[in-house]
Amino acid sequence: MTQDDQPRQSKHRRLWLALATVAALFAVLIVPPLVSINRYKSQITHLMSASLGRPVRLSSVELRLLPRPGFVLTDLTVEEDPAYGSEPILHANTVIASFRLLSLWRGRLEIGRISVDEASLNLVRTDAGRWNLESLFRTAAAQVTPAAGKARSIALPYLRATNSRINIKSGVEKLPFSLIATDLSFWQQEPGDWRLQLRGQPARTDLSLDMADTGVVRLEANVRRAPELRQMPVHLDLDWREAQLGQLTRLVIGTDPGWRGDLTGELHLDGTPDAAQVKTRLRATGVHRAEFAPLAPMDFDANCGFVYHYSSRALEHLACDSPLGDGRIHIAGDLPGEGGPPRVSVELDRIPVAAGLDALRTVRSGFGSGLVASGAISGKIAYAEAAPPGNARSAKAHPATPGPFTGSLTVDGFQLSGDALRTPIRVPRVVLEPVAAFSDGQPGQSPSPALAATVAIPAGGAGSLTVSTRLALSGYQVTVHGQAALERARELAHVVGPPNAAALDSLAGEPVTIDLSAQGPWMPAQRIPFSATAPGEAAHGLSVAPPIGAQPALPGSDSLSGTVTLHNVNWKSDYLANHVEIASATLHLGNNETRWDPVVFSYGPVKGTASLSLPASCDGAEPCPPHFEVDFGDLDAGALQAAFLGAHERGTLLSKLIARLSPSKATVWPRMEGTVKADSLILGPITLLRPSATVRILPAGAEVAGLDAALLGGRVQATGTLSTGDKPSYSLQASFLKLAPAAVGQLVGMRWSGGMLGLDGQVDLSGYTEKDLAASAKGTLHFEWRHGAVAAASGSVPPSLARFDRWTADAEIANGMITLKQNQVQQGARKRAVDAALTLGGTPKVTFAMPKDARAKKR
């Protein structure tokens, strides 16, 4: 090439570049308005509908040439198959569908790529266990398989979704679970060879989660076409990483049980839906409760492999291995579909008992954080449910086995120490063997299999405590029977942690007899998504049984029932100045309450029988107060006050008690309410017969309501309050109904007769002794007496009282006396007033003042 040719060639290249640029601008500016967009809108809708096998709707279509030729689709909606619901399977506000330019020259429109941003995809699972994407795969398989008489199939475009959301539905119900910030790609690598990539973050719409701790889900799949869906070769890799256990449990069950740790899961699948080779791996590090960290980390690395058959929901050749502590767990078995009997075995090799205790503390809060367990578990348990015999001959040839479970587990060197246990519990060897543990008597309910063991534990009683344990997949049952020293019983109670276990701390005396049963689930029951029993699982006997025990418990709750019997023990309380001697008492546990009934006790000179109920819960927001019933024999009020409030002298029972009840001390009376009864109650010179009252104990006193008793031939009904302080203070309101005049007259040393008396009054008084109470009494009294007569054995009585038709009076209680104020004695038409006073304290005495006319005559 000459030097003159080089400038000429450069000019030609610049000219062609300029012409190409002008042509491109001409195409961008001139071509789009000339293209019939409406014609392509219907073609695009038809093409997408045929590719997906679903009706497709678009609001509008715009042509775009840069950066690549394509259409901008607005408001894209892909309708759902009616079998899976009415809500669209896919919706996107804006979709970019890029087409192939060469297809336009052939007079066809071919979509090469579909890009979606911020789309919403609904993933639906029916009650039968099928997903709505299955029909999409069937449609895609049919489209890429040329039908008879057709030259070509409809090519599936490259699908790309970014920053989108995948919602999960169970039938018509939209669950709160979804994948957000999801990137999804779906394309054909070659005809009939599909690829799928997905990356998203699990979320829950009804909770506020720390999204940084829910982890990231990644999926890569490769699916190749086949004549039938169940024969399509599939390769799938799925992993869930960077998940924090607390946020993960909140995501799955809606609450945070307090578990902490990091979790990673992997799943790899190769094969076809009808014969899929599956390998899984679940790794956990630093597993513990938020408030408790085990001495050794609760790490595990479980690897499983099995073959899964989707059409029959069958699982075979299961093999799982996981190291745990210094031991290892191996699980193997087959779960055939269509009602076939399952076969599963679990083999433990030197699994530390401490690992089991730490696992319990992880799933259950407040479970003996100070306990230390040692020992190791080894053995093998196999489950092989026998197939039903086909005829009588086969039944004879193969007799029924005792149960589907066989084998045993052995615990060697078991020891439990720490916490409240001063002396460790040691059991050299425990053998757990299969039993049928649970049957609630419901029609068709078969026993739930479990592992059982019985051991004898010395506890300081006349004999050992017999402890029987039954462990099932759903829960546990423990029964304890025998005698134990009170000190040992207190230790065991604090370890197990039943309600009101602290009540045993105040008891001392002879050994107690224990007959208790505890039962419950391993962890609180939670609603897990898609947890309904799948078809065929009930036939396998794999459905989760209710918690073990004869009495049904609330879902996810523990229950404790039985009795603890005491003889000849002393009870000391902070709010009582002396011990209560208990001849016998029985503690009943169960039915959502703790009840002592009966309790035969004596407190100083006061003797009686009582019952006390401690409800576990009630309807109101406030705690339920204990309810008591006390029945005394013949009771003296002075002795009762001396016993519970003491005497007023320094250094005596009361002075010590008042020192405890002083404002500088925190000790207060417990809140309680109940009824008190007695054969008789002596109140100084009077005696109440068969008194009964409703009493409410308060932190600094008591309230009495509904007191009713027989008194002086009639009845008394009263209410009142007691306040503790420097000295006890009383406030009483009483009504005396139909009192017999003869009995009242005898009380004051006079002869009274006539109709019944009625009195109403109120009085406030304080003190310890009868003299103090009488001197401090202040109040009012009103009485009415019809057709009466008053005579004195000695001394004078006003003539108007010798016989009268009606006597009404108001009196004042003060200065140790009851003094008549305004009163009226009526005899026929005559009405007079009398002056009289009744001295309180000791023996009551009535004195009358001489009438005015009698005093004048005397002068």
pLDDT, mean of each 10-residue run, the chain (859 residues): 58 63 53 55 77 82 73 86 86 80 56 82 83 69 50 60 89 85 86 87 81 86 82 92 82 78 92 92 84 70 92 89 90 85 92 85 71 92 70 44 78 89 90 71 57 90 89 86 90 73 79 90 58 38 35 57 92 79 91 87 88 76 82 82 54 41 53 92 88 91 92 94 84 94 90 93 87 89 94 82 93 92 92 90 80 51
**Residue 659 DSSP one-character state:** H
- For 584, half-sphere exposure in the C-beta direction (CA atoms, 13 angstrom radius) is 4
User: Which candidate, 384, 548, 355, 378, places its Cα nearest to that of 450?
Assistant: 548
Q: Which residue matches tokens 């005696």?
A: 687
pTM reported for the whole predicted model: 0.68
The CA distance from 615 to 610, in Å, is 17
Q: Which residue matches tokens 């840069």?
A: 66
Ramachandran angles phi, psi of 21, nearest 5°:
-65, -45
3-state SS assignment for residue 630: strand
Q: Output the pLDDT for position 306.
A: 95
Q: Output the pLDDT for position 3.
A: 56
Burial 158-195 (b: 16+ CB within 10 A, else e): bbbbeebbbbbbeeeebbebbbbebebebbbeeebebb
Ramachandran angles phi, psi of 547, nearest 5°:
-55, 145
| Cα first-last separation, the chain | 173
Contact 823, 786 (CB under 8 A): no
- Helix, strand and coil content of the chain, in percent to the nearest 5, comes to 20, 50, 30
The CA distance from 438 to 461, in Å, is 31
Q: Output the pLDDT for position 354.
A: 87
Beta strands in 363-420 (DSSP E): 371-384, 405-418
- For 479, half-sphere exposure in the C-beta direction (CA atoms, 13 angstrom radius) is 12
Residue type present at position 697: I
Total residues found in the chain within this entry: 859
Q: How far is CA 467 from the centre of its chain?
A: 27
3-state SS assignment for residue 482: strand
Torsion from C-alpha of 572, 577, 583, 589, nearest 10 degrees: -40
The CA distance from 682 to 667, in Å, is 30
